[in-house]
Amino acid sequence: MSVATSIGWTRDEIAQRVAQDIPNGSYVNLGIGIPELVARHVPQGRTFIYHTENGLLGMGPSPAADQGDPELINAGKRRVTMMPGAAFFDQATSFAMIRGGHLDLSVLGALQVAANGDLANWSTGADDAIPAVGGAMDLVAGVKRVFVMTTHVTKEGEPKLVPSCSYPLTGRGVVTRIYSDLAVIDVTARGFALVQLAPGLSFEFVQERTGAPIINLALEASK
């Protein structure tokens, strides 16, 4: 069993940081995987309503192991529960919510994010890969604010924040903000811009692990 490195934020700390940026009463779609952790860290006094694109608004936490209903599931096909005020609907209605701009926020994982906000998160384009996209392209095209939660670099140490994506795109210019284990970074008209560093990390440390320049607004302001 590997031990997590002590550098930067843990997954749960990233999730907590994301949750801090979500206003009370928001309608939120959490992507499969790491983004699901956000639901565990709702700040005191706030209520978020979770949408799962397979047809439920008002999704609640997972049921106890070996409990739950195999036909009450989330987009990751895992059993979930429902909250008071929940509603079930069909796929056309669910994606009308997404495509029509009714969701406040989508939190997604990433393979690569480009400095212009392009996102690649569904395929590495490998020859033997089975192509599968699900609702990712609809989410990034329809939801106004798209947050990405990701490790800052790949397991091989390659930057995931890049000048331009080499993997097939999920959407063009769609990412609003990136929450990694090392930093919170906005996508701006001028490219990546630092919002916050993880505790103990320097700007240079993060820049070295990023494939494109990061604007340091604090530094610029002090000049």
Partner 1 sequence: MIDKRVGSAREAVADISDGATVMIGGFGEAGSPIELIHALIDQGAKNLTVVSNNSGTGLVGLAALLRAQRVSKIICSFPKTAGSTVFPDLYRAGKIELELVPQGTLAERIRAGGAGIVGFYTPTAVGTPLAQGKESRVFDGREHVLELGIRADFTLIKGRVSDTHGNVLYHRTARNFAPMMATAATVTIVQVAQVVEAGELDPEGIVTPGIFVDRVVHVPSPALESALNEVGASYP
Interface ranges with partner 1 (CB under 8 A) = 25, 27, 47, 49, 51-58, 69-73, 77, 82-103, 118, 128, 130-138, 141-142, 168-172
Shortest Cβ 148–partner 1 spacing (Å): 16
Three-state DSSP state, 105: strand
Of 57 and 149, nearer to partner 1 (C-beta) is: 57
Shortest Cβ 119–partner 1 spacing (Å): 10
- Paired with 188 in beta bridges are 191
H/E stretch holding 93: helix 91-99
CA distance 138 to 63: 28
Contact 112, 154 (CB under 8 A): no
CA distance 153 to 208: 11
User: What is the distance of C-alpha 152 from the center of its chain?
Assistant: 13
Catalytic entry in 13, 36, 53, 204: 53
To the query of whether residue 53 is one of the catalytic residues in this protein, the response is yes
Shortest Cβ 11–partner 1 spacing (Å): 20
H/E stretch holding 18: helix 11-20
Handedness of CA 139, 142, 147, 153 (dihedral sign): positive
Of 106 and 180, nearer to partner 1 (C-beta) is: 106
Shortest Cβ 116–partner 1 spacing (Å): 11
Of 10 and 81, nearer to partner 1 (C-beta) is: 81
Of 16 and 52, nearer to partner 1 (C-beta) is: 52
- Paired with 49 in beta bridges are 27
By annotation, the residues acting in catalysis are: 53
